[in-house]
Chains A and B, each alone.
Chain A
């Protein structure tokens, strides 16, 4: 894969505000999308997923939106908390079990 650079995009929000993290995916044939959260020094952790036949899915404090027309995915976090500070990245799945991960966005929550 080609390097997307050494520095991740960053998002800084105030505690209690809503956060929106964006992801552009590359394969129009991708049929499944996943958001992961990765805290410093830890492995990625599944947050929420969505299939390509849906355009919205809600979880606990999180919502994922899918726009297949422009190949865009977003993760919305309601009432962001300090514990939400982490790197968030999306993954697209195609060909049943091929996955591509984005580089991620670093979310910082200011108290």
Chain B
């Protein structure tokens, strides 16, 4: 049981490039989330999904897109990376609506130059 895994662990992008971050969970969780964490700040929710095929915007969705084609995977896309998107990105999953205990992945450190 690997829990929540994220790929890649590190990435450097040039401004304007695109990329996709992959999150996978093997706990059969319905809910999945993408957060960003910046120095000195709390986690901020980018997008989340309440089930396969559904996604919703969080607190800071601009510049990101997501897809949940399979229950176990949640993809975060950056279409045109900007330096302001330099951050550590965390994926999380939880069992069901109302189950707030989230399991987090190890994070992806993204630098946009």
| Residues of A participating in the B interface, judged by any CB pair closer than 8 Å | 1, 3-8, 32, 34, 41-46, 49, 89, 91, 93, 96-97, 99-104
Contacts and interface: CB of A to CB of B under 8 A. Distances in A.
A99 B48 CA distance: 12
Given A43-B105, A43-B106, A3 B100 contact: no
13 contacts: A1-B59, A4-B40, A6-B39, A34-B101, A43-B105, A45-B104, A46-B101, A46-B103, A91-B42, A96-B98, A101-B42, A101-B43, A103-B42
Contacts, number: 62
Interface of A is mostly: loop
B104 A44 contact: yes
Contact of B42 (A7, A46, A104): A104
A91 B105 CA distance: 17
A32 B100 contact: yes
Nearest to A8: B40
B78 interface: no
A65 B47 CA distance: 31
Nearest to A102: B42
Contact of B97 (A32, A41, A97, A101): A97
A35 to B, nearest CB: 11
A88 B102 CA distance: 15
Contacts of B100: 32, 34, 49, 93, 97, 99
